[in-house]
Amino acid sequence: MRGQPGMAGPRPRGGERAPKLLAILNVVAWAGFWAFGYLALTGDPAAPGEVTTAALLAALGGAAGLWAWLKLARRGAENRQTERGVT
């Protein structure tokens, strides 16, 4: 029952929460890619360990961001096909 105080509404199914989590992962991953990429490109060449670490973290962020973006794009395409009635 929705209108009563203290009563929670229906819980969202896992499929409804997934796009939000993917979108959050996408934003955080791309932010990490750009931040660590900048650090890798502008790092001190005399400290190769820092540059390598930043480059690896940037690569991980880019890979995670690309993966999340592709998942979101596929989900959006599937939703559009479902709305049109295409099977």
Domain ranges of the chain: 17-82
pLDDT in tens, 4-54: 566 555 555 556 788 899 999 999 999 999 999 999 999 999 999 999 999
Q: Is the pLDDT of residue 2 over 70?
A: no
Residue 9: predicted pLDDT: 53
Q: Is the pLDDT of residue 70 over 90?
A: yes
Residue 77: predicted pLDDT: 86
Long-range own/partner contacts, residues 20-25 (CB < 8 A, 24 or more apart): 22/68, 22/71, 22/72, 22/75, 23/68, 23/72, 25/64, 25/65, 25/68
Residue 84: predicted pLDDT: 79
